[in-house]
Amino acid sequence: MTSTLTKEKSQADDRATVTHAARIEHVSKSFGGPSGQQLVLDDITLDVAPGEFVTLLGASGCGKSTLLNLVAGLDRPTAGSIATPGGRPALMFQEHALFPWLTAGKNIELALRLRGVAKSERRAEAERLLELVRLQGAYGKRVHELSGGMRQRVALARALAQDSELLLMDEPFAALDAITRDVLHDELTRIWRETNVSVLFVTHNVREAVRLAQRVVLLSSRPGRIAHEWTVDIPQPRRIEDAEVAELSVEITEQLRGEIRRHGQH
């Protein structure tokens, strides 16, 4: 018992000394093509603090998803470095990417198994995560029985099952209708506050960025560079129609339009 308590205290001390969930330092990324190397990201430096919610915003093709893939470890930067001291981040895609032959619960259990959770504990943990995303009783449902919003909730539960300190989200609500997306904004905000997970969230929707984030980072286009950052001091919970959200969204949209004009993107 003493050794277990000592180990837990050591882990807590380690977390207390971590100053960032992700550190991106002078990262550039190029891809080869018929006309030679194309620079997609140029000298990106960005920290995500423990428990912070950051949105990456920019026009299509500015390298947002590329940067997220680099942080996830799915690709390597051409230059610079990326550190995630809490271990491998969890990644949630725009498409739910659930296995259709598995139930909602079994999709989550797969992530738990890969994490090393004992078989005897997986079902209870999967049901706990389904309850966290407000899908009590959905353990045995197949993917085709779930609505689009429900599928994304299961995908979120599966990402949370990885027990990562950093959650990467690549436009996870873009394909949903406005009402479902609005509900999931509320749910994500609640889960983020309950779990204190760090979130790096990619979107091209300005109001979504302002509604969710503590900090909004705008990328320029061709190549992607950090053009501007905003700290969002509007208290949570926020509504997408709130006057303060709308006011800051207008300011950010003007900056975004300026970047698009500057780089000749239509």
Closest to 107 measured CA to CA, from 149, 68, 69, 162 = 162
Alpha-carbon distance 20 to 82, whole Å? 11
How confident is the model at residue 12, as a pLDDT? 42
Query: Is residue 214 within 8 Å of 76, Cβ to Cβ?
Result: no
Q: CA angle at residue 245 from 242 to 251, to 5 degrees?
A: 140
Q: Identify the residue with better confidence: 24 or 35.
A: 24
CA distance 108 to 130: 9
Question: What confidence tens digit (pLDDT) does each residue in 95-133 have?
Answer: 778 999 999 999 999 999 988 999 999 999 999 999 999
Q: What is residue 259's predicted lDDT score, i.e. its pLDDT? A: 81
The proportion of the chain whose per-residue pLDDT surpasses 70, expressed as a percent, equals 91
Distance CA 201, CA 172 (A): 9
Q: What DSSP state is assigned to residue 102? A: S
Contact between 215 and 20 (Cβ < 8 Å): no
Phi, psi (degrees; rounded to nearest 5) at 51: 80, 5
Domain 42-89+164-266, CATH = 3.40.50.300
Burial of 196 (0-12, 13-18, 19+ CB in 10 A): exposed
Label residue 228 by pLDDT band (50, 70, 90): very high
Cα–Cα distance, 168 to 233 (Å, whole number)? 22
Question: Where are the domains positioned within the chain?
Answer: 42-89+164-266, 98-163
* Cβ atoms 21, 195 nearer than 8 A: no
The number of beta carbons lying within 10 Å of the beta carbon of residue 51 is 15
Structure tokens at 10: 């050591």
Burial 137-171 (b: 16+ CB within 10 A, else e): ebbebebeebeebbbbbbbbbbbbbbbbbbbbbbb
Cβ neighbours of residue 42 closer than 8 Å, sequence gap 6 or more: 28, 223, 224, 225
Instruction: Average the pLDDT over 213-240 and give the result.
Output: 93
